[in-house]
């Protein structure tokens, strides 16, 4: 088994006395800033004036501009959207990235695809939680944590690994497990996971299931419960006990259906297409397309986003969730999501 790092393996002294500048206060930014502060570290948030600036202030954090935070920070964590990082880095971070500081990422995209080339006299590493930022905060508050990867790109100080581990522990990841990787491995696997399985794969599967039932004349509300709402409950069981844990709880009839029909849905052709997706990631084709899409002000992204929001499963879901206040308990984090989506 790969070497895993847990609380007892990590000495947070590596970060004591250092100022951590968290640049961005969105999904990951608010979680890192608050968890690190609660872990006893000195944190300053750098963000432009606006809603997330106000939110960070309201959450009791020290907040300033990106440039001032970068100037103050010994460790500078970039948590603004990947597609905006290069410009923000060039304009507001690089001028303050003096020798001996640490430049940190939560995803290797811009370093791996050569969009950001850090100076040679700073430590460069990543700490990438394997979970959405709002859950990084929520699990931390509940006394648990989300696992994370770390990778060292440059180790000028000789302490980059200790600093990365201390940072990861500060956000709560050492409660769940920290694993060492490279920028290349983190970038390619993260992009693959979100495209083929976690986000792209799952939403396409759910929509296809919903549409199949509705087109066959079944009620949309029922199709929503069956294909989307219950998915969380099934995935919770997999999170707790793997596939066998989930299968223990479902009926034998469901388990037999799982065995005989699952491979008819996700088959060798699906896997071949997954390999194509991975190839596009590895060759940089996906990254190039995403960067160009942003340079063009996201015409295709916006068209798809609008069409998806109007899909029947979303309309039905909005109405059904309005009647389930317990599903929407975490209003606060949802407001942050809304605020940072553009
Ligand atoms: N989302 C996630 O859970 C995960 C993300 N990551 C990685 O973490 C990094 C951050 O992603 P994520 O948290 O999703 O990012 P978000 O989209 O949530 O970041 C939004 C934040 O960036 C700020 N911001 C946007 N543009 C600017 C700007 N021009 N100047 C200053 N601040 C700006 C926003 O401020 P404003 O309110 O003013 O718009 C807001 O505070 C990425 O590298 C991503 O790949 C890694 C693991 C999981
Ligand atoms: C699964 C999507 C993700 O990679 C994440 C939450 O880990 C992201 O980029 O947001
Ligand atoms: Mg991810
Ligand atoms: Mg990702």
Quick one: pLDDT at residue 341?
A: 33
Quick one: pLDDT at residue 194?
A: 99
Catalytic residues, by residue number, are 107
Ligand 2 site-directed mutation target among 30, 132, 333, most atoms within 8 Å of CB: 132
Helix (H, G, I), strand (E, B) or coil at 39: coil
Q: Where are the domains of the chain?
A: 4-181, 193-339
What residues in the chain have per-residue pLDDT under 70?
329-342
Q: Whose CA is nearest to atom 6 of ligand 2?
A: 132
Give the span between the Cα atoms of 170 and 157, in whole angstroms: 20
Give the span between the Cα atoms of 83 and 193, in whole angstroms: 19
For 111-127, b where at least 16 C-beta lie within 10 A, e where not — what string? Answer: bbbebbebeeebbbbbb
Quick one: pLDDT at residue 334?
A: 46
Q: Tokens 């995403």 correspond to what residue?
A: 290
84 annotated as a binding-site residue = no
Query: How many residues can be counted in the chain?
Result: 342
Ligand 1 site-directed mutation target among 58, 81, 86, 192, most atoms within 8 Å of CB: 81
Write out pLDDT tens, residues 261-314: 999 999 999 999 999 999 999 999 999 999 999 999 999 999 999 999 999 999
Question: What is the Cα 91 distance to its own chain's centre?
Answer: 25
Ligand 2 in reach of 132 Cβ (< 6 A): yes
Residues with CB under 5 A from ligand 4 (ion): 190, 194
Q: Whose CA is nearest to atom 10 of ligand 2?
A: 132
Give the span between the Cα atoms of 107 and 150, in whole angstroms: 10
Quick one: pLDDT at residue 336?
A: 33
Determine contact, residues 101/128, Cβ cutoff 8 Å.
no
Determine contact, residues 67/44, Cβ cutoff 8 Å.
no
Q: Whose CA is nearest to atom 7 of ligand 2?
A: 131
Which ipTM score applies to this complex? 0.99
Ligand 2 in reach of 190 Cβ (< 6 A): yes
Give the span between the Cα atoms of 116 and 18, in whole angstroms: 24
Non-local (6+) Cβ contacts of 309 within 8 A are none
- The alpha carbon of 250 and the centre of ligand 1 are apart by a number of angstroms equal to 38
CATH classification code of 4-181: 3.40.50.720
Q: Which residues line ligand 1 at a C-beta cut-off of 6 Å?
A: 24-29, 47-48, 50-52, 66, 79-82, 84, 88, 106-107, 128-129, 132-133, 339-340
Non-local (6+) Cβ contacts of 35 within 8 A are 136, 137, 140, 170, 171, 172
- The alpha carbon of 190 and the centre of ligand 4 are apart by a number of angstroms equal to 5
Ligand 2 in reach of 201 Cβ (< 6 A): no
Looking at ligand 2, which atom is closest to the CA of residue 129?
Answer: 7
């Amino acid at each position: 088994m790969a070497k895993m790092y847990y609380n007892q393996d990590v000495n947070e002294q590596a970060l004591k006395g250092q100022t951590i500048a968290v640049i961005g206060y969105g999904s990951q930014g608010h979680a890192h800033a608050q968890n690190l502060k609660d872990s006893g570290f000195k944190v300053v948030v750098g963000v432009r004036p606006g809603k997330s600036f106000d939110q960070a202030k309201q959450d009791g954090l020290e907040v300033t501009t990106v440039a001032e935070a970068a100037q103050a920070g010994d460790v500078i964590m970039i948590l603004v959207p990947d597609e905006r990082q290069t410009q923000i880095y060039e304009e507001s971070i690089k001028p303050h990235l003096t020798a001996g500081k640490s430049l940190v990422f939560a995803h290797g995209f811009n370093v791996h695809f050569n969009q950001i080339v850090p100076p040679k006299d700073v430590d460069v590493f990543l700490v990438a939680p394997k979970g959405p930022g709002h859950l990084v905060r929520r699990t931390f508050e509940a006394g648990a944590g989300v696992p994370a990867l770390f990778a060292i790109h440059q180790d000028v100080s000789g302490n980059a690994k200790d600093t990365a581990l201390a940072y990861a522990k500060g956000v709560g990841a050492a409660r769940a497990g920290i694993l060492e990787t490279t920028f290349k491995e983190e970038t390619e696997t993260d992009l693959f996971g979100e495209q083929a399985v976690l986000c792209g794969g799952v939403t396409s599967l759910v929509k296809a299931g919903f549409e199949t039932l509705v087109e066959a004349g079944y009620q949309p509300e029922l199709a929503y419960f069956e294909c989307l709402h219950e998915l969380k409950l099934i995935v919770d069981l997999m999170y707790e006990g793997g596939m066998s844990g989930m299968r223990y709880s479902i009926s034998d009839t469901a388990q037999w259906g799982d065995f005989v029909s699952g491979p008819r849905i996700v088959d060798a052709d699906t896997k071949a297409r997954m390999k194509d997706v991975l190839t596009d990631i590895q060759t940089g084709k996906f990254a190039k397309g995403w960067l160009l899409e942003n340079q063009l002000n996201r015409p295709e992204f916006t068209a798809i986003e609008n069409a998806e929001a109007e899909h029947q499963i979303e309309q039905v879901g909005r109405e059904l969730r309005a009647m389930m206040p317990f599903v929407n308990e975490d209003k606060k984090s949802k407001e942050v999501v809304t605020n940072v989506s553009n």
